[in-house]
């Protein structure tokens, strides 16, 4: 059995733990380098990317995380987790000294924080999602769409070579289409061992994203 950790510094940790256990793997919280060493893969949950950034450095996890990511450890980042995995933030927050927030990197993408709007502009929609063929009711048919919840969510503005786009929000699918300016926005990507979504599958009971990540950890996808 594989063991998957959830970075438990801030955010919706409990929901990810429950989703992983429901999907049939051992799950554990990760707050220290020794706990990181004990897992086969890691989930970085949604929350506040600036807070997660600061806490990874305070808990001396930033460098070990970067090293494991560079060495090929599978990581799934949702919402703030997507921001933490991005190589570049289009609109980084700055601290009182004017220093921009940091990321762990690994995904050759540029993200924009809170791109879909603030809390009151949260919305839900159904998405076509690549890579979920294993969940189709009948082999060879299209899987059911993913019901996605976007809460102060980022989107991806640039993908580099080797980054696969798994899902996009079309202008007509968002509740406040004006922010999309008539352009589909990338909300899920994968690059080899790294998976990221700008939405929260853990809050809706949608398990297939976690199941896809488990398959990545096991080398089956």
Quick check: is 200 catalytic?
yes
Alpha helices per DSSP H over the chain: 13-22, 33-37, 49-58, 62-70, 80-85, 208-218
Residue of 15, 16, 79, 193 marked active site: 79
Contact 76, 146 (CB under 8 A): no
15: annotated active-site residue: no
What is the rounded distance in angstroms from the CA atom of residue 27 to the CA atom of residue 20?
6
Strands 155-159 and 146-150 come out as: unpaired
102: CB partners within 8 A, 6+ apart: 53, 57, 62
Q: Which of 15, 16, 193, 202 is catalytic?
A: 202
Beta strands 75-78 and 107-112, pairing class: unpaired
User: Does the annotation count 79 as an active-site position?
Assistant: yes
The residue assigned the tokens 């980042």 is: 77
User: How far is 181 from 196, CA to CA, in rounded Å?
Assistant: 23
**Matching residue, tokens 């853990």:** 202
CA distance 133 to 174: 25
Distance of CA 220 to the CA centre of its chain: 19
**Rounded to 5 degrees, what are φ and ψ at 116?**
-85, -5
Active-site position among 15, 16, 193, 200 = 200
Q: Which residues are catalytic?
A: 79, 200, 202
């Amino acid at each position: 059995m594989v063991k998957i950790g959830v970075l438990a510094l801030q955010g919706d940790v409990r929901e990810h733990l429950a989703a992983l256990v429901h999907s049939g793997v051992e799950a554990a919280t990760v707050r220290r380098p020794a706990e990181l060493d004990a897992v086969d893969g890691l989930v970085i949950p949604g929350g506040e990317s600036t807070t997660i950034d600061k806490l990874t450095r305070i808990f001396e996890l930033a460098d070990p995380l970067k090293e494991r990511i560079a060495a090929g450890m599978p990581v799934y980042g949702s919402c703030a987790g997507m921001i933490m995995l991005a190589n570049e933030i289009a609109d980084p927050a700055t601290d009182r000294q004017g220093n921009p927030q940091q990321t762990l990197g690994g995904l050759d993408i540029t993200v924009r924080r809170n791109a879909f709007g603030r809390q009151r502009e949260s919305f839900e929609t159904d998405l076509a999602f690549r890579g979920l063929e294993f969940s189709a009711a009948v082999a060879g048919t299209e899987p059911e769409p993913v019901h996605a919840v976007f809460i102060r969510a980022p989107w991806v503005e640039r993908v580099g070579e080797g980054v696969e786009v798994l899902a996009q929000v079309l202008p007509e699918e968002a509740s406040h289409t004006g922010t999309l300016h008539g352009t589909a926005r990338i909300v899920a990507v994968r690059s080899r061992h790294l998976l990221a979504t700008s939405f929260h599958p853990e809050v809706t009971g949608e398990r297939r994203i976690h199941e896809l990540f488990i398959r990545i950890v096991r080398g089956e996808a």
